[in-house]
Amino acid sequence: MAPIDVAQSLENLKLERDAIALYDELARIEKDPRRAEAFRTIAGNERRHADVWAGKLRDLGATVPEPDGPRLRIRTIVLVARLFGTHAVRDMVQALEGDEEDMYTEQSSPEVDAIAADEREHAEIWRRLSGGGGSPGHAAHRPSEIAAKESWHRAGRSGTLRAVIFGVSDGLVSNLALVMGVAGASGGQGSFVLLAGIAGLLAGAFSMAAGEYVSMQSQRELFERQIALERAELEAMPEEEQAELAQVYRAKGFTEAEAATIAERMFSDPEHALDTLVREELGLDPDELGSPWGAASGSFVAFAIGALIPVVPYLITAGSTAFVTAIVLSLGALFAVGAGVSLLTGRGMLFSGTRQVLIGAAAAVVTYVVGRVIGVNV
């Protein structure tokens, strides 16, 4: 556990001040009174947290700095919320909450436990605001409800924002490389580059969509079959399945008597028992099997958006102007994609954006050089 020293307290204070700025803005943006009040409640909690760390700094003999404005990550989330509404930033905010809880988990201090409990409550508030069901006093009892409460941990891995960002990235890098390669081979003839760019956009988008559909549909069918088999086993031999579940809990460290009691209680509700067996034995979440059509359409649109960027200059101009504009526009878009990734990973925007630019630029340079060599030889 990291000690709570001056540097750590300053970092914690900055974190809480960022959260205050975020939720104050979300409350001002939100038109729904219920959601706005929830954001104000969270902002109030964050103010209490900030006071805790300000007091800690004074106790350590340090000066409490004046607020210096939120980080770029927070300003970006606020900008997206202003443009598209607070629902659009759900994944980003939940990823931010998850990063905050992870940070506090690594610390050892009496103050941290109470703050971490508040952060978990913030995630619960987001769950309810996102349509997760339940009232403020509602406790989750079914595994599906418990998993929903913990959704902020996986927001960065499986959320819509993640799929969009990486779909755009795939389209941008692959079509930029294709456009640069054809530009190198053709000596920059706009008609060839434009034809190749549009063909690459359509081929890549349809390929991504078809691949996502087949992959998701096959996975869904496999999971549904496994769940159906588990249901049949539960109906045919409930005693054996109950014994298997008890064995699972014994493997988790429960005594034989405790495991048997838990399994017996689980099996008092057949649907509850099936849900638990599917999660514990198969490692599946019945509520998140995925939508093949949703995955396919999302991949198509995201890839097409990214792939269109290096093609746009050739639609409106030609020659070296189109070539240079395509490079500049694509590098800017690559940086924006990298910055978008940082909203999910918590890494610095400058680092993530620069890394994405270097990766995309390397692919473009290699294909351009190969295209020049092929073009000269041909």
CB atoms inside a 10 Å sphere around CB 77: 24
Say which residues have a Cβ less than 8 Å from residue 158's Cβ, sequence separation at least 6.
Answer: 288
Output the pLDDT for position 365.
92
Is the CA virtual torsion 102, 104, 107, 108 positive or negative? negative
Output the pLDDT for position 197.
92
Q: What residues does each domain of the chain span? A: 6-132+140-152, 156-217+291-377, 225-281
CB atoms inside a 10 Å sphere around CB 359: 14
- Give the side-chain half-sphere CA count within 13 A for 164: 12
Of 59, 47, 51, which Cα lies nearest the Cα of 4?
59
Rounded Cα distance between 243 and 246, Å, is 5
Q: What architecture is domain 6-132+140-152? A: Up-down Bundle (1.20)
Output the pLDDT for position 68.
85
As beta bridge partners, residue 107 has 2
Provide the 3-class DSSP secondary structure of residue 2.
strand
Task: Return the HEC string of 181-223.
Answer: HHHHHHCCCHHHHHHHHHHHHHHHHHHHHHHHHHHHHHHHHHH
Rounded Cα distance between 139 and 128, Å, is 12
Show pLDDT as tens, one digit a residue, over the chain (378 residues).
455 678 888 888 888 899 999 999 999 999 988 889 989 988 998 898 888 888 888 888 888 888 888 888 888 889 988 988 888 888 788 777 777 766 776 666 666 666 766 666 676 676 666 654 444 444 444 444 444 444 434 433 344 566 777 889 999 999 999 999 998 888 778 788 999 999 999 999 999 889 888 888 887 887 778 778 777 877 778 888 888 878 878 877 888 888 888 888 888 887 877 787 777 766 666 666 667 888 888 889 999 999 999 999 999 988 889 999 999 999 999 999 888 877 767 677 888 889 999 999 999 999 999 988 887 554
pTM for this predicted structure = 0.60
Of 327, 325, 314, 321, which Cα lies nearest the Cα of 357?
327
